[in-house]
Amino acid sequence: MLQHEFVSAAAIAASVLFILSLGGLSNQEKAKRAVWYGIVGMAIAVVFTALGPGVGGLGWLIPLMLIGGLAGAWLARKVEMTEMPQLVAALHSVVGLAAVFIGFNAEMERARVVATRVAGIDVEGFSAFAATLAHKTPLELTFLQIEVVLGVFIGAVTFTGSVVAFGKLAGKIGGKPHKLPGGHMLNAGAALLCVLLAVGYFNGAGAWTLVLLALLAFFIGWHLIMGIGGADMPVVVSMLNSYSGWAAAAIGFTLSNDLLIVTGALVGSSGAILSYIMCKAMNRNFVSVILGGFGTTQSEAAEIEGEQVSIDTGGVASALNDADSVIIVPGYGMAVAQAQNAVSELVRKLRGAGKNVRFGIHPVAGRLPGHMNVLLAEARVPYDIVMEMDEINDDFASTDVVIVIGSNDIVNPAAQEDPGSPIAGMPVLKVWEAKQVFVCKRGQGTGYSGIENPLFFKENTRMLYGDARGSIDALVPMID
């Protein structure tokens, strides 16, 4: 076994690598190196924790680590980018469930230590964790109980909430908000009962209080995320990421693992900040979203007059050949069709013809923060022509052609023009200000939020129906 000093040094090194990894992810060009920082940091963390003092059962631990590593490698190769949001949600659920199991295990060990003290029995032969607890004062054991309650509660909410988020993102659960009769009062009542059960647990009422607390927290997580609509799922994924971080931090306090505390705090705080940023980008109230829509009222969008006018690839190609400036706005439809490489080839030909081509990226395009940026980077689109919404929104009015690929809610003018729209006030890409707008879309259905888009009915908009990849592939040979 390694000495405690080596483990502490490894924890510091891993923590620094994790911080460098997070910092590097803010820049596309540095992101690949940042990911490697995270990989190396996690490898150091796992190895030095497994070989550290007080850790036994390597005969079981090493095979389990190998199985987990192989499962992760298999998932990384199998899962498509379109499935990444639901994969992230599924992984959050695993962290939450781990926090619940560790909390219950810690309580069983604590109960054994307390029982041995009362009976005057030596703790020899107990686990390393129990032996550590045997040296703690009654006050320190009380703090352990607080850590257990927090870990179990946050972990249980994260588990069921992440399972529901996975179901909604995967299309296995409807995207519309669903609440039981009583709505928010049920959540509030369950949370109050959790507080009362925690008080009873602290005062020696027994482990049954912890079990009931976990069951109520499972319900809160399920009901909370069921009450959040599909349009807010990108925020929910980020929020659950934050929850999983705080659950990990609570586990770290329980296990006296400094590295787990630091890592959990990094994930928890960064996830919370990202959720807040995304709420601002969608004009959503942060507290309202995390409480399942608390404080919001239902509104109805105005009726849309007119009809959607279609166009063929020849018409779009003609407009592109005549244009000097082009902006492409990708969305989840591009990810579903796996059209990023076709789009990259189209951009190459347009730029080769001397046209100014750029991308407009909304902060919540797709179903995961940075979803479009990753796809475009994968297709080797130059970083310098991929612009964020705030950088490019004022340029649409002077743009000849805008191509919208699989985007809907993030280009919906109702957000600014219709006070009664459910997305009223949400910052959107003002594509309708361009001279011509071509929308590449499978059919006439609504977006993920279920809201009709007036953009599709405007006079300067034409609809290019069909699979995005097939449509773009057909366009490429027509560009002069």
**pLDDT tens-digit profile of 233-260?**
777 888 888 888 888 888 888 877 788 8
CB 335 within 8 A of CB 406: yes
End-to-end alpha-carbon separation of the chain, Å?
A: 68
**pLDDT tens-digit profile of 202-244?**
988 888 999 999 999 999 999 888 887 766 677 788 888 888 8
CB 302 within 8 A of CB 421: yes
**pLDDT tens-digit profile of 9-68?**
888 899 899 988 888 877 666 777 888 999 999 888 888 877 776 676 777 888 888 888
Confidence at 131, pLDDT banded by 50, 70, 90:
low
**pLDDT tens-digit profile of 146-158?**
889 999 999 999 9
CB 177 within 8 A of CB 296: no
CB 413 within 8 A of CB 454: yes
CB 449 within 8 A of CB 234: no
Alpha carbons 10 and 8: distance in angstroms, whole number: 5
Q: Give residue 17's identity as a one-letter amino acid code.
A: L
Rg (CA), the chain: 26
Confidence at 445, pLDDT banded by 50, 70, 90:
low
Query: Counting every residue, how long is the chain?
Result: 480
* Residue of 390, 409, 418, 473 with catalytic role: 409
Determine the average pLDDT of the residues in 73-89.
77
Q: What is the pTM of this model?
A: 0.77
Mean pLDDT of the chain: 83
* Whole-number pLDDT of residue 403: 96
* Whole-number pLDDT of residue 292: 57
CB 121 within 8 A of CB 184: no
C-alpha dihedral sign at 121, 126, 131, 133: negative
**Is 390 one of the annotated active-site residues of the chain?**
no
* Whole-number pLDDT of residue 295: 43
* Whole-number pLDDT of residue 424: 76
